[in-house]
Amino acid sequence: MGALSQLKTLYHLTLSPIRGETHQERLDSFYGGQADEYDAFRKKMLHGREALFDRLPVTPGGAWLDVGAGTARNGELFGDRLGDFGSATFLDLSTSLLEVADRRINEQGWANAQTLHADATAIGLPDASLDLVTFTYSLTMIPDWFAAIDEAHRLLKPGGVIGVVDFYVSRKYPADGRRKHSYFNRNFWPYWFNHDNVYPSADHLPLLEGRFETELVEESQGKLPWLPFVRAPYYRFMGRKEGGS
């Protein structure tokens, strides 16, 4: 990715006004001018996806739903394992990103994959129909993120897996064993990301741990492009819906 493309994407991230009356209109306003450069730039700032996908199980013949999938790059993170799914669905509300996702599916020849234009809080699939649901840096962009988690819980089969990686901040008094962020981090990162309608929350991990049987929680920090001395906090979570054998 050249410097000019990086600057263009950085402009859309920091200076370009986000317009629209609905969440979909705001997403397309934000991503419309950067959809083609989306992957190259965000690879440098969206950390932890590869590590999460290395741990996620693939059920042969099962169904995977990637929520807020953007350009469907997450399909590549499974490598050859993607073909073991019976279906892989990449859901997003941004039509600009889904156009890129459709191109990727066709170019990669993923016969079991398709895109889905839908709201993450009202997906419309049958109850208990999925083996795996993932959110990678999408919960912070869903206004009713708690409703999106409820929807994922509804869609997962008993014993089905949810995998999440995203920005966050800790609670002022986190649970035992969880990281405690400084006053600066707890206040700076929401302020920084809110410009792009990204809302890091102190409540992501507590809700996920309350709704699912926790199998993995990792908290870390990652670099941001053009800000070499700054590290943004993020987490990885993997859990199971209760009731599996």
* pLDDT tens digits, one per residue of 84-125: 999 999 999 999 999 999 999 999 999 999 999 999 999 999
Q: Where are the domains of the chain?
A: 3-240
Beta strands in the chain (DSSP E): 63-67, 87-92, 113-117, 130-136, 156-167, 213-224, 227-240
The answer to which of 49-63, 94-108, 146-160, 215-229 has the lowest mean pLDDT is 215-229
Q: Which CATH superfamily is domain 3-240 in?
A: Vaccinia Virus protein VP39 (3.40.50.150)
* pLDDT tens digits, one per residue of 19-75: 555 655 555 555 455 445 555 556 667 899 999 999 999 999 999 999 999 999 999
Q: Is the pLDDT of residue 177 over 60?
A: yes
Residues 6+ apart with CB under 8 A from 8: 33, 34, 37
Measured CA to CA, the distance from residue 64 to residue 133 in angstroms comes to 6
Residue 229: predicted pLDDT = 81
Nearest to 68 by CA among 10, 11, 123, 126: 123
> Does the predicted TM-score (pTM) go above 0.75?
yes
